[in-house]
Structure 1
Amino acid sequence: MGTRAAAVATAIGLASAAHADNFSIASSLPRAHLWVSAHKEVLMERLEEKTSGEMTFTPFFAGELTGLGRELDALQNGVVDIIDPLVAPYHEGAFPLSEVTQLPTYETDSVMVTRAFQNLMDSDVELVDGKTFYDYEIGDKGIIGWGIGATAAYSISTTGKKLEAPGDFQGVPMRAGSGLQTIVLEKLGATPVTMPASQAYEALSRGTIEGIVLAVVDWKSYSMEQLLKYTIEGVSIGQWESYLAITQDAWNRMSPEEQKIFDETARQVSIDAAQQWEEGVGAVRQVAVDAGSEFVAIDDLSPEMQAHIAKAAEDTWVEWIEKLEAQGHPAKAAAKLYGEYIVAEGGVLPTGISEYLGL
């Protein structure tokens, strides 16, 4: 049994027999976001049903209780019992390895990345000092965590500028939502501007930025279907994963049977949510096409452009790994393990990365 599964099993074994009551559950994202509508709301509904109403929830949405980057504090300070999603990349320094799913890949989808991330969290492979990935990212924070359904592949989109040759990226201001996306854009030659997606609509509308790295299906959450006019498809500029997290105290309020139901449900809802991410792409894409948006397959770009993007993808893996390694984090071991799981799912790593990681 992997460390992630063992942690849950141990907690179940130590739990009191008392039935759970009502749990507060918060998100910083709006209800339109798929991490809320396809994960959080489904999770609550299924848990109430499976426990015959013994487990109920008081939900908070869109930052009513806590905002992006403050979710872990809210859990640790007892403000809320459960956060779904805890958006790890906005917690600077707290989850250093959790951006691993944002590394560029080819031929991956949401379900593949979700399964790979679950395997990473369950793995008993030691990354450093006897710690697994779960130990390193979650273990000492006073919470129990699960991965949620990974987003669809992040794409490069602009408000109209065509990106047909390597030089077309040069100096173009583009939104990045994380440090890893900043690296990708820098390698491409663009000028990254870091901001939450919720602020990007205004920046795009005003011309403060001309492009964005974001999943197409997520455009609907931020009303961007009519705004973005040019998108490169076929290469994933990473896929975001985040966490469903519950405090240890709230977990211990559940009976052992309820904990088992919670664990099993959390895992299945993540896969189901990932499928919704994939299913939602087509509808949002069609709305954008009807509004005049152009989608260009990477295979239809010039060989020079394909090579430029491939080199940027490869260099992003190396820089992210070496930057975190210099800070003392076992990034290469984590990336190698994640790469193995992605390849096992049928995904493709950028040229040169398998050799670099020793796969």
Structure 2
Amino acid sequence: MKTPVKTLLKGALAGVAALAATAGPSAAQNLMISASLPQVHMWVGQVLDPFATKMEERTDLTFTRFYAGELVGVGRGLDALQGGTVDIISPLLAPYIPGAFPLTDVSQLPVYGTDSAQITRAFQKLMDSDVELKDGKTFYQYEIEPKNIVAWALGASGPYVINTTSKEITSPADFQGLPLRAGAALQTMTLENLGVNPVTMPAAQAYEALSRKTIEGILLSVADWKSYSMTELLKYSIEGVALGHWESYHAISKSSWDSLTEEQQRIFDETIRETALENAEFIQKQYVEVRETAEAAGTKFVQAEDLPQDLRDHIATAAVATWKQWIETLEADGHPARKTAQLWSELVLAEGGELPPGVAEYLAD
């Protein structure tokens, strides 16, 4: 299966020298790479930095690095790439750019028994897929190419789970009106279907909200607790059901990409794919470390399969409702959400994950 990026690598680039002199916000020999998150975050210290360092070792390129929004803030990455402010955004936080990447949220659909590595591989295959979704376009051609960027998957977050500062969830009634943080529109759907009162905010703002009891919990991967200093705050967590995984992109502007030589492009592609998979391994190791630290400090981790049956059924019903709502909402707006969800479900199952009961039947209708 040929990837959209590898397709770009076919043949020698005509006029590379001229493009390097005229295209992109900076010369190809030095690229500006920016993150809106701090270096402690797994997508910065474990993707942006190792990627740039490897590229400097493997090519004659150098990188000027910017962190923690000092150049481009959260949600402004696409504008910065298209406007020529920077060459590369990593991470490009697609879910924080409303309407721009409608199909990318597919990774946030609820699934069972998945981890970062499985979802990373599945998302890479989704981006590489030659399955046509609409008007002869693949996922990559529909979601990425029209933005005048070239993009790759990052290491997916661990499973997003429900975490609270103290409240234990033992029945469906415990969800009713519970104020929990959601980070994106699809997560909001999931929480609403559970009966939760979702409060949408970036994870970086949630520490203060949890500390002040403005919210009582958060939908977040356990591995991410360390990135946002929440390990000591969160005291209850439900594991075993992923209310989605957060995925996003490592992206370069098309003009900056075209200014690179064919060899630089080849190494760029190989390096970010390699780094993303290493990132997934790091995320899984961090999950184990954070969980052990939190459990030793008194945090209670409960497996979904050990919850009362009525609560398990309630979560499963909400999960199916979220798949249906996301698909039908996007289809009404003209996006190929059903075909995307069908392809995604196949990729997740191939990686060993499971679908919530009822999803397969719905997708087959």
Which bracket does the TM-score occupy, shorter chain normalised? over 0.9
Task: Give the corresponding residue for 2:24.
Answer: none
Distance 1:11 1:109 in 2: 37
1:1-359 map, 5 Å: 1-2=1-2, 4-10=4-10, 13=13, 16=16, 20-51=28-59, 54-358=60-364
Distance 2:15 2:218 in 1: 46
The answer to whether the Cα contact below 8 Å between 1:12 and 1:260 also exists between their aligned partners in 2 is no
- How far does the alpha carbon of each residue in 1:177-226 deviate from its partner, in whole angstroms, 9 at most, with x for none? 00111011111111000000011011111111101000111111111001
Cα distance change, pair 229–14 in 1 and its aligned pair in 2 (3 A): farther
Calculate the TM-score normalised by the size of structure 1: 0.96
The answer to whether the Cα contact below 8 Å between 1:15 and 1:252 also exists between their aligned partners in 2 is no
For residue 130 of structure 1, report the CA deviation from its aligned partner: 1.2
Distance 1:291 1:328 in 2: 49
SS at match of 1:350: coil
For residue 43 of structure 1, report the CA deviation from its aligned partner: 0.4
For residue 13 of structure 1, report the CA deviation from its aligned partner: 4.3
Cα distance change, pair 319–73 in 1 and its aligned pair in 2 (3 A): same
SS at match of 2:205: helix
Cα distance change, pair 130–190 in 1 and its aligned pair in 2 (3 A): same
SS at match of 2:9: helix
For residue 8 of structure 1, report the CA deviation from its aligned partner: 2.9
SS at match of 1:125: coil
Cα distance change, pair 144–180 in 1 and its aligned pair in 2 (3 A): same
Amino acid at match of 2:40: A
Distance 2:61 2:211 in 1: 44
For residue 266 of structure 1, report the CA deviation from its aligned partner: 1.0
Distance 2:155 2:331 in 1: 27
The answer to whether the Cα contact below 8 Å between 2:179 and 2:215 also exists between their aligned partners in 1 is yes
For residue 5 of structure 1, report the CA deviation from its aligned partner: 3.8
Distance 1:275 1:293 in 2: 24
SS at match of 2:342: helix
Cα distance change, pair 70–12 in 1 and its aligned pair in 2 (3 A): farther
SS at match of 1:34: coil
- Runs of at least 4 residues of structure 1 off by over 6 A? none
Calculate the TM-score normalised by the size of structure 2: 0.95
Distance 2:121 2:53 in 1: 23
The answer to whether the Cα contact below 8 Å between 1:107 and 1:347 also exists between their aligned partners in 2 is yes
Amino acid at match of 1:244: H
Distance 2:131 2:15 in 1: 27
The answer to whether the Cα contact below 8 Å between 1:84 and 1:245 also exists between their aligned partners in 2 is yes
SS at match of 1:240: coil
Amino acid at match of 1:161: K
Distance 1:261 1:3 in 2: 15
Distance 2:6 2:221 in 1: 33
For residue 2 of structure 1, report the CA deviation from its aligned partner: 3.6
For residue 7 of structure 1, report the CA deviation from its aligned partner: 4.2
- Equivalenced residues, count: 357
